[in-house]
Amino acid sequence: MIPAWVLAVVTVGVGFAVAAVLGVVRRDREHGSSSVDSTSRVHRSVVVLINGREEDSPVAIEAAEKLVAREDIYVGTVPPEGYEYVLLLEPDHRPDPRFLDRTMPLFDDPDVVGVAGYARVDWRGPWVLSAYRARALALGQWLLTVARTRPRTEVARLSPSPARLFRTRVLAGIDLGSTLSQQIYRRRLGRVLVVRGAIVDITAPAGLGEYCAQVSTWARDFWRSSWRNRFPRGTPAFAAETAIASALWLALPVLVVTGVVTIPALLLGVFLPDLLLTLVLALRQREPRYLPVALLLPFVRVLDASLVFLALLPRRSVAVAGWLVAVASAVVFVFRVHVMAARLPVTSLEPGLVDAAYSRVAGLQGIPVAFDMWATTLQLVLYGGVSGSFNRYDTVLTGAREASVAAAAVLALCVVLTAAVLRLHPLLVSAVLVVCCASAQLFATAGPRTFAAAWLGIGALALAGAITRRTAKLIPAVIIAAIAVVLTVLPSPLAVVVPGLFVAALFGVAILLDRLPRAARPAFAVATLAAVAAVALSVPAVRPVAPTADHRAIADWLDSNATGDLDLSAPPLLWSDLTRDLADKDGRVRRGGPAALAVDGPGLPVATFPGATVSLTAGGAGFVGDGNRAVAGADLAANSKITAPDPVLVAFGTGRVDFRAMAVLAEISAQFPITIAEVANPAPEAGSELPLRTVVLSAVDGRPVTDPAVAAELRAWFTAQLPPYAPDDFRLTDRGFAVSWRLSGDPVPN
């Protein structure tokens, strides 16, 4: 498992932590933050170039007029020559009036060719995104500014900085894009610094789509420029840490589901360090607006990780990744149905349906079913007969529910294929399947609902193919699927309404959402991925139901401790399990009705198992309360040729020993002295009133039964006995020579 401290290091960031330590140790002030006069100067050697249209840039124009004269401001056009410096602004940039006073002194160093401002978010966008953007920029610029922490690593290579001021001589032949700083470093034209004293207000993203577009653009430009420039100094460590952290953040839901990351480790290693970062920043900036959304910021980090990681992939790979997410959603859906199938309690419809299907697969006398259930029963019979699922699990019910899991898999496959045929966005398919996951219990039980949903999926796929390919060849498949749906839901048409209309409505919503503007799709994608993670995380939360009857223990007891003339009445479902366990072809196990023994029925309890009790329906007449056994037992207890411990003698004297056993012991003791180690019954019969039917001999005629000759003589003697006194089993055990009789359907001479 991954310890919490490793998660904490990844959450905070190795480079971030090192920068913080170096910043505290060095304690030197960054260039450009020295005190300046309170009055701002107009710099005639600086021209401002705003990237945009004039009607879209009133904010930037107004801010620029406080820095330079109006005639030195150009919007969307190339300024004339004659200026020594050029300030590049975006339409939403609002540099502080003292921006140039803070940055111009840095150009006294001839190696410095550019200076970027210190971004500050104005919090006018969505609260969570504004808080996260403000925190990310503040932490990155606060602890990564060059002279404060990393004198050898220019933060301009790593962080997108606003309001960049350059020497005009270095911009000749350079694309004025987001990778401008990287181009300068690649050509070795000089250094680009970031100054905390040069404040630039920037507008927070207006929505999730805009935020995703901004992060994707930065990540794509960063990776592309880093690869093109072969990762120049300062970027390899940052790039490696970013890639590793993004992969870990994306894998975190899977790691939690699989137990590699425990919930305490998640809280201590992810949420707590992230919360501490937010608290420290809120205190430093005196900004309480961070606090209400502090616990939501880790989820935005997952979004950032996905965007940064996807930026590493080619565009075609991104499309492939989308379909991989769709397929993964289908797998999660089927897996959840599988988990629910093994743990959901029995429905009212399943006992009769499963027993009827199993009786036909096993070749037994068929259990009648209602006419309106014959189609569902037929599908269960076909699946169970072909796949052998009834014999593959601990219970027949689970084997029957495997058919529902298979139907859910067919439905998921049809959803994915139908989306591919209709060319829907794969993340929309994921949304359909995730919502299906939330109602997995509708698909996990044996019944008409899941089969009908699967046939609906098949029909939808065939219909989509017929429409898109404009062919009538697939229409018969649509008709067959429709007929199958109708026949399957005959007992309850409402059984298919919920999943059927649900899936149909979601496909309709998916088609509409697929026509949304591209800017709105990232929000839907994030919601889908979050839902996939939530569903995956909730799978272990499905609790198993109370334990059912231990049918294997009942079958073993009946097979080894009761004669074949003792039949057993069992309730539905348990009947299927016992019939399978005993390979009963003769009807010894009855599905209800009269029988000598009954599971959880009236009568004298004789054997207790987890979840069930077997009783003698006749009330134990002839098995208990027989005074003749007490008389015969007292004689044996007083027999001088029988040696036994006190519990055995008490059992003889109280008539607790089976009459057949006492008769055989009396016959042996008439010839040789014997030593009896114990008398007992099988463990399930502990506490019952049945006579004790197992006798363990330890010595005969003074010789131990472990002597091969003595054991051989005992085997020969017991083999020669005739019914009803002949023992059903005799063998040498570690306790002695055990002789036992089964519970007989004829209580005399018990």
If you average pLDDT over residues 197-204, what whole number do you get? 80
Point out the domain boundary residue: 521, 541, 561.
541
If you average pLDDT over residues 138-151, what whole number do you get? 53
Alpha-carbon gap, residue 231 to 220, rounded angstroms: 14
Quick check: is 254 in a domain? yes
Residue of 741 and 164 predicted with greater confidence: 741
Quick check: is 298 in a domain? no
556 and 537: one domain?
Answer: no
Residue 729: pLDDT band (50, 70, 90) is: very high
Residue burial 88-121, b: 16+ Cβ < 10 Å; e: rest: bbbbbbbbbebbbbbbbbbbeeeebbbbbbbbbb
29 has a pLDDT exceeding 60: no
pLDDT in tens, 148-190: 334 344 444 445 567 788 888 887 777 666 567 767 777 778 8
Query: pLDDT over 70 for what percent of the chain?
Result: 74
Residue 232: pLDDT band (50, 70, 90) is: low
503 and 578: one domain?
Answer: no
445 and 484: one domain?
Answer: yes
Point out the domain boundary residue: 510, 541, 572.
541
Most distant CA atoms of the chain, gap in Å: 133
Quick check: is 311 in a domain? no
530 and 404: one domain?
Answer: yes
6 has a pLDDT exceeding 70: yes
What pLDDT score does 14 carry?
60
Quick check: is 300 in a domain? no
Residue 712: pLDDT band (50, 70, 90) is: very high
328 and 266: one domain?
Answer: no
257 and 398: one domain?
Answer: no
610 and 726: one domain?
Answer: no
Quick check: is 308 in a domain? no
20 and 169: one domain?
Answer: yes
- With contact defined as beta carbons under 8 Å apart, do 61 and 69 qualify? no
Most trustworthy range by pLDDT among 528-537, 595-604, 625-634, 669-678: 669-678
What pLDDT score does 469 carry?
73
Q: What is the pTM of this model?
A: 0.56
Quick check: is 422 in a domain? yes
498 and 603: one domain?
Answer: no
What pLDDT score does 546 carry?
43
What pLDDT score does 704 carry?
94
Most trustworthy range by pLDDT among 120-124, 250-254, 417-421, 694-698: 694-698
646 has a pLDDT exceeding 90: yes
pLDDT in tens, 251-307: 787 677 666 778 888 888 888 888 888 898 888 888 888 888 888 888 888 888 878
730 has a pLDDT exceeding 90: yes
534 and 563: one domain?
Answer: no
Q: Could you tell me the CA-to-CA distances from 421 to 278, 414, 416 in Å, in that order?
A: 46, 10, 9
Q: Could you tell me the CA-to-CA distances from 537 to 254, 474, 599, 701 in Å, in that order?
A: 8, 39, 39, 69
Listed range (54-63, 385-394, 723-732) with the worst mean pLDDT: 54-63
150 and 273: one domain?
Answer: yes
The total number of structural domains in the chain stands at 4
What pLDDT score does 151 carry?
38
69 and 103: one domain?
Answer: yes
Residue of 581 and 243 predicted with greater confidence: 581
Output phi, psi for 725, to 5 deg. Answer: -90, -15
If you average pLDDT over residues 527-551, what whole number do you get? 51
3-state secondary structure 212-233: HHHHHHHHHHHHHHHHHCCCCC
Quick check: is 102 in a domain? yes
- With contact defined as beta carbons under 8 Å apart, do 668 and 674 qualify? yes
Quick check: is 137 in a domain? yes
pLDDT in tens, 429-483: 776 676 666 667 778 888 887 888 888 888 888 888 877 777 667 777 767 776 7
Residue 44: pLDDT band (50, 70, 90) is: low
What pLDDT score does 586 carry?
86
Residue of 234 and 727 predicted with greater confidence: 727
Q: Identify the CATH number of the domain in which residue 116 sits.
A: 3.90.550
**What domain range includes position 64?**
4-290
Radius of gyration of the chain (CA): 41
Point out the domain boundary residue: 541, 560, 589.
541
Q: Which helix (H) or strand (E) holds 380?
A: helix 374-387
Residue 609: pLDDT band (50, 70, 90) is: very high
Residue 711: pLDDT band (50, 70, 90) is: very high
What pLDDT score does 73 carry?
85
577 has a pLDDT exceeding 70: yes
- CA 482, distance to chain mean position in Å, is 33
Residue 373: pLDDT band (50, 70, 90) is: confident
Q: What share of the chain is helix, strand, coil (3-state, %, to 5)?
A: 55, 10, 30
Residue 603: pLDDT band (50, 70, 90) is: confident
Average pLDDT of the chain, as a whole number: 77
